[in-house]
Amino acid sequence: MTITESNNSTIGSELPKVLVAEIPRDILRAALASVLPCLSNDKTRPILNTVNFKLSGGLLLAEGCDSYRLARYEIDLAGELGESFMIHANDVKDILNALKGNGYGLPILLTSSTNLNGSRSITLRIDDATLTVHEAPGTYPDTDALIPEAGIGEGAEGVSFNADFMATAAKIAKAMTTGKGKHAKASLMTLKALDFNKPSHWTIGGDGLGLVSFLLMPCRKP
């Protein structure tokens, strides 16, 4: 058994752990890997260096945003869930590395505990090992109003995008595939009256792995 701890917060004595959820390995991998490319590297905006992870009413939601790109992963899970926490990008990478091992498809057990200093720790049981990360402090921006209803909008001509940011859609599609020969399905829906101040909306889905809503801001007019 190994315990890996984040360097992003102070560790205090923990109170008893509380079960959060059991999540299939491939679902957790897809949720984190599909939104990770959209996280910001700007250390002056630490909230945008995190993945916002929610479990509510049988729905798993993960999202990442850098103010130019937003990716939101959603999938229905069995059971009554009710937890939300933010995970720093470095910890997300550690989790994804741990998920590369054997036991593909086995459920990952998530538990949470509150430290005596008020911070929270999230522990993942992955096969015979445990990985403990610490919740990032702060409040994640409300992104609900940014995601349009499915099917809304018409195409627009003459909109250009940053090539590197466009490549993010390909990274998300790769994260939403379950193995060699598998395919991700993507569709592009643009908002009505799309201009250079409004994002385009992509939906990217995998084989039984849920759906990612990906918003991308166009380039400014020359």
| Mean pLDDT, rounded, for 186-192 | 54
pLDDT of residue 153 exceeding 80: no
**pLDDT range class, residue 16, cuts 50, 70, 90:** low
| Mean pLDDT, rounded, for 125-148 | 86
**pLDDT range class, residue 202, cuts 50, 70, 90:** confident
Q: Which of 25, 24, 23, 26 is nearest to 206 (CA)?
A: 26
**Token pair 């599609």 in the structure block, residue:** 173
pLDDT confidence of residue 87: 95
pLDDT confidence of residue 196: 59
pLDDT confidence of residue 186: 63
Phi, psi of 200 (to 5 degrees): -85, 155
What's the distance, Cα to Cα, between the start and end of the chain in Å? 56
Q: Which of 15, 28, 20, 7 is nearest to 210 (CA)?
A: 28
β-pairing, 50-56 vs 82-88, is: antiparallel
- Rounded to whole angstroms, the Cα distance separating 65 from 3 reads 29
What mean pLDDT is reported for the chain? Answer: 77
pLDDT in tens, 45-90: 999 999 999 988 888 999 999 988 899 999 988 766 678 899 999 9
Q: Which strand (E) or helix (H) includes residue 214?
A: strand 211-216
pLDDT confidence of residue 107: 84
- Rounded to whole angstroms, the Cα distance separating 53 from 84 reads 6
**Token pair 């995970």 in the structure block, residue:** 87
Q: Which of 90, 18, 28 is nearest to 60 (CA)?
A: 28
| Mean pLDDT, rounded, for 126-132 | 86
Fold observed for domain 3-134 = DNA Polymerase III; Chain A, domain 2 (3.10.150)
The predicted model scores a pTM of 0.72
pLDDT confidence of residue 217: 78
* Per-domain boundaries in the chain: 3-134, 149-216
Size of the chain, expressed as the number of residues it contains: 222
Instruction: Name 162's Cβ contacts closer than 8 Å, sequence gap at least 6.
Output: 68, 219
SS3 label, residue 114: strand
* Interhelix angle 25-35/163-175, nearest 10 degrees: 180
Q: Give yes or no for a contact between 67 and 48, defined as CB atoms under 8 angstroms apart.
A: yes
Cα R_g (the chain), whole angstroms: 18
pLDDT in tens, 205-216: 876 778 888 888
